[in-house]
Amino acid sequence: MEDELLPRLPQEMACECLIRVPFHAFPTVRAVCKNWMHHLESPCFHRLRKAAGLARPVVALVQLESIPPQQQPSLPPPVCRLSLFEPTTGAWTSLPPTPGRPHGLPLSCRLAAVGRELVVVGGLDRLSWAFTEDVHVFDVVSGVWRRGAPMPGPRRSSFACAGSEERRMVFVAGGHDERKNALRSTLAYDVAADAWVRLPDMALERDECRGLFARGAFRVLGGFPTAAQLQFSRTAEAFDVAAWRWGDVEEGKLAEAGHQRTCVVGGDGRMCMCRQGEEKMEVLLEEGDGAWRPLAHLPGDVKASLQMVAWEGGLMLWGARDNGRAQVAYTMDLKGGGGGGGGGGGKGLMWRKVEPPKRFTGYAQTACCFEM
């Protein structure tokens, strides 16, 4: 029959076979026939994968191409590209180049995951350093890029950004304009409709702020106003999507000012972040009512935390080595401690060093995590 997934096999058994295909093979499998294409694109297929325990966390990162030591500093900046890392297997995947961008993705762009799609927003032109409003969307199942509707003005950089799978939206807030004025304005990008919506302004100007989405709200953390350059605050604001309004400014929300880039939210909705402890840098877990609990010290060779991503039961950290140039990465299993050296923390939690292939050792500019 034409609607059979696999000839002479019951549909249930054929589906059991297909849900075991690794996600990086989806574009190839999808191209076999229309029936398989429709099956892999259906929400039911991905629900079955998750119910069977086959969905895995995937870290997406925009990183610079590795620069050979002999390369002259006078040459143009390196190319930015999008890569994927699977923490459970250690596998790395390089995604196809973005059409129409021979020099790669914009520098300092923002990245958010919305279901099976990765959305790249804004950034700086690699050659002119001009702000860009470009939006690029990558479909992990089809393996295809598409251009999104450009982000409305003013053009901005260093803004907060986060995606909501439930709402199928990417939220943008704050940052600064081309005159270095910190912004209060916020936007939302509807991925399915390919359309932008303006949201109410935040209460405070927030340049170099951090965005997270948790418990139905877009949370904007830290940052600083135009009149107080680099004087980071510990405050936060949350946009309730259902009510379509901002809540009150939360004072002292962050454990330490200036480390908002390391703030992540776990599967239980609580935040983790890095800060400078009494002896070395450490990861903290939000306990509620403004309290934070030390979770683990950073590995010994990490002298500065750069950013983190989180998934249910795990963390990934990027940090700078002693010289401040070389970047190192570690993962941590929060469920059972799970292995591998590097510097511990408390109660069996251990960091496991990530050893990527050479082509994936470039500086990670931004990252997010999704389940596939």
What gap in Å lies between CA 167 and CA 106, rounded to an integer? 26
- How confident is the model at residue 97, as a pLDDT? 92
Question: Tens digits of per-residue pLDDT, 132-190?
Answer: 999 999 999 999 999 999 999 999 999 999 999 999 999 999 999 999 999 999 999 99
Average the pLDDT over 202-231 and give the result: 97
Model confidence band, residue 324 (pLDDT cutoffs 50, 70, 90): low
Q: Is residue 259 part of a domain?
A: no
Question: Tens digits of per-residue pLDDT, 327-359?
Answer: 899 999 988 644 333 344 455 689 999 999 998
- How confident is the model at residue 1, as a pLDDT? 44
Cα 328 to chain centroid, rounded = 17
Is pLDDT above 80 for 69? no
- How confident is the model at residue 209, as a pLDDT? 98
Cβ-contact 141, 116 below 8 angstroms: yes
For every residue of 314-330, DSSP letters joined together read EEEEEEE-TTSSSEEEE
Is pLDDT above 90 for 322? no
Range of 29's domain?
1-55
User: What's this model's pTM, rounded to 2 decimal places?
Assistant: 0.91
What gap in Å lies between CA 294 and CA 274, rounded to an integer? 9
Q: Is residue 94 part of a domain?
A: no
Q: Which residue has the higher pLDDT, 3 or 250?
A: 250
- How confident is the model at residue 265, as a pLDDT? 94
CATH at residue 11: 1.20.1280
Question: Tens digits of per-residue pLDDT, 270-280?
Answer: 999 998 877 78
Q: Is residue 4 part of a domain?
A: yes
Q: Is residue 371 part of a domain?
A: no
Average the pLDDT over 186-201 and give the result: 98
Q: Is residue 236 part of a domain?
A: no
Q: Is residue 11 part of a domain?
A: yes
- Out of 38-47, 130-139, 177-186, 218-227, pick the least confident: 38-47
- How confident is the model at residue 340, as a pLDDT? 36
Q: Is residue 175 part of a domain?
A: no
**For the chain, how many structural domains are there in total?**
1
Q: Which residue has the higher pLDDT, 76 or 120?
A: 120
Average the pLDDT over 194-211 and give the result: 98
Average the pLDDT over 92-113 and give the result: 93
User: Which residues have a Cβ under 8 Å from the Cβ of 229 and sit 6 or more positions away?
Assistant: none
- How confident is the model at residue 331, as a pLDDT? 96
- How confident is the model at residue 342, as a pLDDT? 39
Q: Is residue 215 part of a domain?
A: no
What gap in Å lies between CA 201 and CA 239, rounded to an integer? 10
- How confident is the model at residue 66, as a pLDDT? 67
- How confident is the model at residue 344, as a pLDDT? 44
